[in-house]
Amino acid sequence: MSTIHWTESRPRSARWHSESGLPLPRTVVVADDRMRAAVAYRLACEGTALLWRGDFHNARQLLSALDRRVGRTAPGAADTTAETFRLQRRFRAHRARVLGKLLVLLDADHGLDLRRAPDVRPAVAEAYGAFDGPVAVALSELLGVISARQWREKGVYVPALEAPVHPHYGVFAPTRSEYVDLVAQAPLPRGGDVRVAFDLGTGTGVLAAVLARRGVGQVVATDVSARARACARDNVGRLGLTEVVRVTGPELYPEGRADLVVCNPPWIPGRPASDLDLGVYDAGSGMLQGFLSGLAERLEPGGEGWLVLSDLAERLGLRSREQLMTAVESAGLRVVDRLDTRPRHARARDTDDPLHAVRAAEVTSLWRLAVG
């Protein structure tokens, strides 16, 4: 168990928790409303964590001030798109480390004992589970936990379902509806007579729900994450699809064969820095390769595998189209068809983003794959 130590009239300690993989703070000092942003920024850059004991709203203001100071060091465009992406990712990691030095203490009942602090107990309990004592977390992470609960309560409306999906903390939310629309519109194999479908890496369960609503007889949804499996079961229940969709894991493929196998792996090949990165980064393209290499032996005759994948990695220079096609052919597969769509998310319109041109040109595709 990782533990932080500090002195506050006497030596004290608390368990350290970081969902984003921030390192254990070695030096911790107490900070309150008298702390100036310039001093806080210097200490944070030096690696000193600040355990906040002042007003909650003042802590949020200090976090915003630190963010503005970090932003002044943001890199611009480099000589190549790949280098720009690497610099941007390195900067985001640096920003997370600096902002992550402002800490708050949660008690054993998930409460936050600060002036004007909201009741964070329901959100913290849902995200972290039971505590056996006080826990120190970064304020930036706690704000994410609070925001996640609001998303979970309100849900994300999915046009293809004509209903909201409720993402849990730590589960990738279906805010980009274009990839969901592809699965909702692609022609089903076997003339539409799909008795069994697999949804690999189901996350919130949104694609499994779309397949069930399209009339698939039985959908088996898998995920490596226990959080995602709980989230998918919750959404399947909310949508009244428990008789059609079964959620399992942590193996990528379930037992048996299917008429249709759908996989929407993380689109960027790269090492995730934390569990929260697993929805974006696919280390060594492991999930993509696992889907392709296992597909032929899991498909029923006349069945298809649907690979839902953005070409962002190709545009960033992290994977070539030739490498993708070689992986498909090496797995004994062929491309039946490809359906394309363009991004509609806000980042594609952000002209201040050094990667704006790449994001604006991005194409998301549903590759229809068959054996041979």
What pLDDT does residue 346 have? 64
Q: Which range is least confidently modeled, 34-48, 60-74, 255-269, 353-367?
A: 353-367
| Better pLDDT: 228 or 349 | 228
* Contact present, 105 and 3 (Cβ < 8 Å): no
> CB-hemisphere CA count at 13 Å for 366?
20
Residue found by looking up tokens 């409303």 in the block: 33
What tokens does 45 get? 């850059």
Percent of the chain predicted with pLDDT > 70: 98
* Contact present, 103 and 136 (Cβ < 8 Å): yes
Q: Which tens digits make up the pLDDT trace of 142-172?
A: 999 999 999 999 999 999 999 999 999 999 9
Please count the other Cβ atoms lying within 10 Å of the Cβ belonging to residue 129: 8
How would you write 310-362 as a 3-class SS string? ECHHHHCCCCCHHHHHHHHHHCCEEEEEEEEECCCCHHHHCCCCCCHHHHHHC
Confidence class for position 332, pLDDT limits 50, 70, 90: very high
Q: Is 197 exposed, middle or buried (0-12, 13-18, 19+ CB in 10 A)?
A: buried
Q: Which residues contact 140 (CB under 8 A, 6 or more apart)?
A: 63, 96, 99, 100, 102
pLDDT at 219 over 90: yes
Confidence class for position 347, pLDDT limits 50, 70, 90: low
pLDDT at 275 over 80: no
The mean per-residue pLDDT over the stretch 244-270 comes to 95
Confidence class for position 333, pLDDT limits 50, 70, 90: very high
Q: Which tens digits make up the pLDDT trace of 76-100?
A: 888 899 898 899 999 999 999 999 9
Q: Which tens digits make up the pLDDT trace of 353-371?
A: 777 778 888 889 999 999 9
- Is pTM, for the whole model, over 0.75? yes
Separation of alpha carbons 51 and 156, rounded Å: 34
Confidence class for position 195, pLDDT limits 50, 70, 90: very high
Tell me what the pLDDT averaged over the chain comes to. Answer: 93
